[in-house]
């Protein structure tokens, strides 16, 4: 803080939602602003026995004093957004940029019927690729063209920059993961936009000098959904045995899995100019760590795992996820 950008270091589903939900409760930022592609993201987090899912709103939604912003670079599915605003009862603190792109039925249809998108790339079917294509053609409608969204429109870039001028805390939320970047991932098995930290800042309308911390989130193992290469991929049976089996929160597909990949982690750190790391699901890789909230209580093996990542990357792991609840976290900056 004051300005922290959070991005995924692998292929999405690293657990950014939970990390952001934790940070929002702890730091109580004035603003959480979502960058990234759009509702192809699905962030899930549990808090005191209840599970929450967001696809459009920032994952900081649990902190009642945080204003929830969606940056101009992000695509909006109006039905999903309005449903989330209602579900979380955040009518008075949700603001979207006038220039957010709008996903229409035709984009969703295309995403779910075109062979290339549906079967070769294996998209989430949320309509984001076709909508971004129309945006590049400059025929996409924007939030300011949609009457039922007018209530929520604000100048997101101005709001964030003014809040930072006042020295208040802001979290900028990325979505997807570094290796789903249209520019830096394994094209064509990527999403329809760059999703590295610089693009996330651009999505919400701040420049690179504004950023104090770039937190890259890794999971203790790697997963990816859809097509494309995954080094050292394990079979579904092996993933089940290891407890790594996960199912997509947008599509329900079983995610493919592999062990933690240090080369990818190093590359993600460099692409995002990371200042710190978070590692999630340590309790899945090392069940004995479940629920631990103090670093000194970590057993030898999991501690060696964390320290080897720190030694290889030269960065500190400041947050470690040890369970599904937002508060199942080792926070090494906690006083």
Residues within the interface to ligand IMP (CB under 6 A): 11-13, 37, 40-42, 121-124, 126, 128-129, 175-176, 180, 189, 191-192, 225-226
User: Which stretch in 100-108, 210-218, 247-255, 310-318 sits in contact with Mg ion by CB under 5 A?
Assistant: 247-255
Ramachandran assignment for 230, one of left (phi > 0), alpha (psi -120 to 50 degrees), beta (any other): beta
Q: How far apart are CA 241 and CA 33, in angstroms?
A: 38
Is residue 9 within the footprint of Mg ion (CB under 5 A)? no
CB-nearer residue toward ligand IMP: 11 or 305:
11
What percent helix, strand, coil does the chain show, rounded to 5?
40, 20, 40
Min dist CB 203 to ligand IMP, Å, is 15
| Residue placing its CB nearer to ligand IMP in the complex, 169 or 176 | 176
CB of 85 to ligand IMP, least distance (A): 20
Any catalytic annotation for residue 13? yes
The residue with its CB nearest to ligand IMP is: 226
Please identify, using beta-carbon distances, which residue of 136 and 150 lies nearer to ligand IMP: 136
**Closer CB to Mg ion, 44 or 293, in the complex:** 44
> Cβ closer to ligand IMP: 7 or 201?
7
Number of alpha carbons in the 13 Å side-chain half-sphere of residue 322: 21
Q: Which of 43, 107, 184, 276 is catalytic?
A: 43
Which of ligand IMP, Mg ion, none has residue 123 at its interface (CB below 5 to 8 Å by kind)? ligand IMP
Q: Which does 191 bind (CB under 5 to 8 A by kind): Mg ion, ligand IMP, none?
A: ligand IMP
Residue number with CB closer to Mg ion (164 or 326): 326
- Cis, peptide link before residue 188, omega less than 30° from 0: yes
Distance CA 192, CA 322 (A): 32
**Which single residue is written with the structure tokens 């934790």?**
22
Single out the residue of 4, 13, 15, 325 in contact with Mg ion (rule: CB under 5 A): 13
Could you tell me the smallest distance in angstroms from the CB atom of residue 305 to ligand IMP?
23
Instruction: Pick the catalytic residue from 13, 77, 203, 325.
Output: 13
C-alpha 298/C-alpha 276 separation (Å) is: 20
Does the footprint of Mg ion cover residue 36 (CB under 5 A)? no
Nearer to ligand IMP, 126 or 298 (CB): 126
Work out whether 246 is an interface residue with Mg ion (CB under 5 A).
no
Task: Please indicate whether residue 43 is annotated as part of the active site.
Answer: yes
Helical (H) or strand (E) element with 87:
helix 78-88
Query: How near is the Cβ of 172 to ligand IMP at its closest, in Å?
Result: 17
Q: How far apart are CA 42 and CA 229, in angstroms?
A: 22
Among 175, 154, 167, smallest CA distance to 67 is for: 154
Q: For the chain, state the CA radius of gyration.
A: 19
Least spacing, CB of residue 116 vs Mg ion, in Å: 23
CB of 138 to ligand IMP, least distance (A): 20
Using CB under 5 A as the binding rule, whether residue 42 contacts Mg ion is answered as yes
CB of 292 to Mg ion, least distance (A): 24
Distance CA 231, CA 224 (A): 11
- State how far the alpha carbon of 269 is from the alpha carbons of 80, 276, 293, in Å: 32, 9, 25
Do 211 and 199 contact (CB within 8 A), yes or no? Answer: no
The span from the CA of 260 to the CA of 242, in Å, is: 13
What, of ligand IMP, Mg ion, none, does residue 226 touch, CB below 5 to 8 Å by kind?
Answer: ligand IMP
Q: Residue-wise over 7-28: b if at least 16 C-beta within 10 A, else e?
A: bbbbbbbbbbbbbbbbbbebbe
Sign of CA dihedral 272, 273, 276, 277: positive
Please list the active-site residues. 13, 43
Binding site for Mg ion (CB under 5 A): 13, 42, 249
């Amino acid at each position: 803080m004051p300005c922290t950008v959070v991005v995924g270091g692998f292929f999405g589903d690293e657990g950014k939602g939970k990390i952001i939900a934790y940070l929002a409760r702890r730091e109580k930022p004035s603003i959480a602003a979502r960058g990234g592609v759009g509702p192809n993201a699905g962030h899930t987090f549990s808090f005191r026995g209840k599970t929450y899912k967001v696809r459009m709103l920032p994952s900081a939604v649990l902190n009642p004093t945080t204003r929830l912003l969606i940056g101009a670079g992000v695509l909006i599915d109006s039905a999903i957004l309005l449903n989330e605003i209602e579900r979380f009862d955040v009518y008075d603190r949700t603001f979207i940029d006038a220039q957010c792109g709008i996903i229409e039925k035709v984009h969703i249809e295309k995403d779910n019927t075109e062979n290339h998108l549906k079967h070769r790339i294996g998209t989430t079917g949320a309509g984001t690729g076709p909508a971004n294509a129309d945006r590049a053609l400059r025929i996409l409608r924007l939030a300011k063209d949609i009457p039922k969204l007018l209530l929520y429109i604000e100048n997101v870039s101005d709001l964030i920059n003014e809040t930072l001028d006042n020295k208040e805390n802001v979290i900028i939320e990325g979505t997807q993961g570094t290796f789903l970047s249209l520019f830096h991932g394994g094209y064509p098995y990527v999403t329809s936009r760059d999703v590295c930290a610089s693009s996330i800042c651009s999505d919400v309308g701040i420049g690179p000098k504004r950023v104090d911390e770039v937190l890259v989130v890794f999971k203790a193992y790697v997963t990816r959904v859809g097509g494309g290469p995954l080094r050292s991929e394990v079979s579904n049976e092996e993933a089940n045995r290891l407890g790594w089996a996960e199912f997509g929160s947008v599509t329900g597909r079983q995610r493919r899995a592999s062990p933690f990949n240090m080369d990818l982690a190093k590359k993600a750190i460099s692409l995002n100019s990371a200042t710190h790391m978070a590692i999630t699901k340590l309790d899945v890789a090392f069940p004995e760590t479940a629920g631990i909230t103090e670093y000194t209580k970590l057993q030898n093996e999991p501690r060696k795992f964390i320290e080897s990542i720190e030694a290889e990357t030269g960065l500190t792991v400041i947050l470690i996820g040890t369970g599904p609840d937002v508060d199942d976290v080792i926070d090494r900056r906690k006083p």
